Amino acid sequence: MPRHIACLTFDFDAMSGWVARGMATPTPISRGEFGIVGAQRILALLDKYGIRATWFVPGVIIETYPEACRQVVAAGHEIGHHGWTHMPPAALSREQEEDGLIRGNLAIERLCGRKARGYRSPAWDLSPNTIDLLLEQGFEYDSSMMGDDYTPYRARQGDIAPLEEPFVFGATTRLVEMPISWTLDDYPHFEFVRTQDAVLQGLMATGGVLQNWLDDFAYLTGTLEWGVLTYTCHPFVIGRGHRMMMLERLILGLIEEGAVFLTMEQAVDEFLGRAGGAPP
Q: Which is nearer to Zn ion, 21 or 52 (CB)?
A: 21
Residue 78 found at the interface with Zn ion (CB under 5 A): no
Residue 11 found at the interface with Zn ion (CB under 5 A): yes
Q: d(Cα 98, Cα 122) in Å, to the nearest integer?
A: 14
Residue 13 found at the interface with Zn ion (CB under 5 A): yes
Report the DSSP pairing between strands 153-157 and 171-177: antiparallel
User: Alpha-carbon torsion 37, 142, 182, 209, what sign?
Assistant: negative
Where in 119-148 is the site for Zn ion (CB under 5 A)? 122
Binding part of the chain for Zn ion, among 6-14, 104-112, 238-246, 268-276 by CB under 5 A, reads 6-14
Q: Which is nearer to Zn ion, 12 or 261 (CB)?
A: 12
**In the complex, minimum distance from the CB of residue 58 to Zn ion, in angstroms, rounded to a whole number:** 7
Tell me the site size for Zn ion, rule CB under 5 A: 3
**Using an 8 Å Cβ cutoff, are 108 and 59 in contact?**
yes
Binding part of the chain for Zn ion, among 117-125, 158-166, 189-197, 205-213 by CB under 5 A, reads 117-125
Q: d(Cα 222, Cα 242) in Å, to the nearest integer?
A: 29
Q: For residue 233, what are the β-bridge partners?
A: 10
Judging by beta carbons within 10 Å of its beta carbon (0-12, 13-18, 19+), is residue 279 exposed, middle or buried? exposed
Binding part of the chain for Zn ion, among 12-20, 44-52, 109-117, 171-179 by CB under 5 A, reads 12-20
**In the complex, minimum distance from the CB of residue 146 to Zn ion, in angstroms, rounded to a whole number:** 16
**In the complex, minimum distance from the CB of residue 191 to Zn ion, in angstroms, rounded to a whole number:** 12
Residue 185 found at the interface with Zn ion (CB under 5 A): no
**Using an 8 Å Cβ cutoff, are 7 and 263 in contact?**
yes
Report the DSSP pairing between strands 153-157 and 118-119: unpaired
**In the complex, minimum distance from the CB of residue 255 to Zn ion, in angstroms, rounded to a whole number:** 27
In what helix (H) or strand (E) does residue 112 lie, and over which residues does it extend? helix 94-112
**In the complex, minimum distance from the CB of residue 17 to Zn ion, in angstroms, rounded to a whole number:** 5
Tell me which residues touch Zn ion (CB under 5 A): 11, 13, 122
